[in-house]
Amino acid sequence: MGTIEINGARIKAEETNEPTEIFAPISHPLPILTTLKSTSSPSAIIQPETGLNESNFDAIIEIQDFHTGIEGIDLVWSSNEPKRPIWNHSSSKQPLETSVYGITWDIILTLTADISSIKLPKTWSNSLSNQPSSNPTTTTKSNECYLVQGPKGVGKSTFLRLLLNKLLQSYEQVAILDLDPGQPLFTSPSLISLNLINQPLIGPSFCFQSILQSSLRSYYLGNISPIDSPQRYLERLEDLINFYKLEFHEFNNLEPVLLTKRQRRKYEESLNHQVDSIQVKSTGKCSDRVPLLVNTMGWTTGLGSELLSKIRELVNPSTIFTFESQETFQANENNEENPSIQYLEPIGDTPLSLRLPSNESRTLNLISYLYSSNSTPISQTDRNTKFFRKWDFENQLYKQRPMIINHKELSIDLFEEEIPESHLSYVLNGSIVAILSNHHESNCLGLGLVRSFDQSHGILYLILPEGFGSNDEKFKICKGFEPCLPLNLLVYEHEDHQIKPYLEIRNLGIGHSNLLVGFEKKRVRRNVMRWSQRGN
């Protein structure tokens, strides 16, 4: 009963009977749940399910345990060295003090040491509340486009999720153009993608790894930065933007000769069917428009600044949210329309920025992806991005049954690297590769782990997430520089404590535990300098 708001998402009891999924690990700032005053007068009826009188409350919230298996990520996450847990395991430990808790959740009622909540700067709250999307019937006919930019560690991803949830209050669907291959929102590292979202996202990115077959489109760059291939990055970016325009009836900047038969038919239909009014469903949400959110890289200097300027030129946003000061930021002069500029202040130090550097966040995303499973089939007519909802960390990767592929029937791309065919096994064994579709060049279907490449028999053994839908079509694989296989995935064991195959373990002597060869910390001497570097 009633209406609540959490992380910018407004949840109304009368709109849906489906529960809202919330991922809130203690390693990240926790979301704050607030109730909103209802415009309708509550009935003075005692509900038989709860025994509560509705007239005494603004909202009645039912919290259920959410059994997904994601808590097991701590087993892999801390397998190579002791780390602070991602989740609070209430089932095996004492619950947090002054909290209401279940099996998979805790509600923190008072200040708790080493746990932080999301605290929005004033500029964030003002920008989110002043968006015209709160009343889409008064906006122009063109699709709204919002671009978020700024350096690393200022809170771009957090703000974008809040803005996404805010827009979903007014729109049935929101498209997200994720252009950050180093810290992507919905995919594993080294990918950029276009996703269509129709549900609030409450939680960190490793809890929302998308099933790439359900994304509108995704591309594998082979690196976590476009520094080595900026031209390829811009080409993939332009293709994603054109795809968005084609799908959502914006053909003004496209040449008709580039359209397929299906796209040309859609183009002609859009010309013959001009929508004069915005359709608003009974839920009060706009269904005829799909606003676009653009997530950019944190690389804002040098070549990164030039790429960002090119992104603004291609996207032509209606609103730019920037974490740079007004003195240092200059809007793109090539825009046909002057965008609205919103200046934001950094969110400041949070447990995420203090405990999870960017490389460890990428590791979490990769672990989550490889141990996830797709329990429900993907419908060809449902174009919304689907996310993995189950994780199985009890089944180690080396125990999983791989897909067996004939090398002669498989195309292997090494990103233009000249490597002799006789050395392919050295390159592919134990590496993470991209699965590319044969129907559309470079469209990425997901990532896989090459367990082994038997070059003498021409057989490749490939481990894919459970339920990966690639058996129905032929595909090719691509090997880039990133991502690399994390050490966590090599040494992880569940409960059997067996010696891992292909790994050599030695005892380093008294005072040392059994460690992997090369696992000890390296000592770097800072007092060794050249004569020219020494002072007088």
Residue 388 confidence class, pLDDT cut points 50, 70, 90: confident
- Which sign does the torsion angle of CA 234, 237, 239, 245 carry? negative
Are the beta carbons of 145 and 248 closer than 8 angstroms? no
The pLDDT value recorded for residue 164 is 93
Segment 19-45, tens digit of pLDDT: 888 888 888 888 888 888 765 555 544
Q: What domains does the chain contain, in order, with CATH numbers? A: 1-115 (no CATH), 143-272+286-349 (3.40.50.300), 400-532 (2.40.30.330)
- Main-chain phi, psi angles of 35, to 5 degrees: -100, 150
CA dist 152 → 162, 468, 509 (Å): 18, 33, 42
Q: Tell me the DSSP string of 61-126.
A: --------SGGGHHHHHTSSS----SS--TTTSPPPTTEEE-SS-EEE-S--TT--B----HHHHH
pLDDT over threshold 80, residue 457: yes
Q: How far is CA 480 from the centre of its chain?
A: 20
Higher-scoring residue by pLDDT: 148, 535 = 148
Pick the most confident of 173-177, 298-302, 402-406: 173-177
Q: What does the alpha-carbon distance between residue 58 and residue 34 come to, in Å, rounded to a whole number?
A: 10
Could you tell me where the DSSP H helices lie in 273-370? Answer: 303-315, 351-355, 358-370
Please tell me the distance from the alpha carbon of residue 179 to that of residue 190, in angstroms, as a whole number: 10
pLDDT band at 267 (very low <50, low <70, confident <90, very high): very low
Q: pLDDT tens digits, residue range 287-305?
A: 778 999 999 999 888 899 8
Token reading at 356: 């999870």
CA torsion through residues 374, 376, 377, 379, sign: negative
Residue 102's pLDDT is 79
Supply the pLDDT for residue 522. Answer: 60
Give this prediction's pTM: 0.81
Cα(217)–Cα(380) distance, integer angstroms: 14
Contact (Cβ atoms closer than 8 angstroms) between residue 128 and residue 161: no
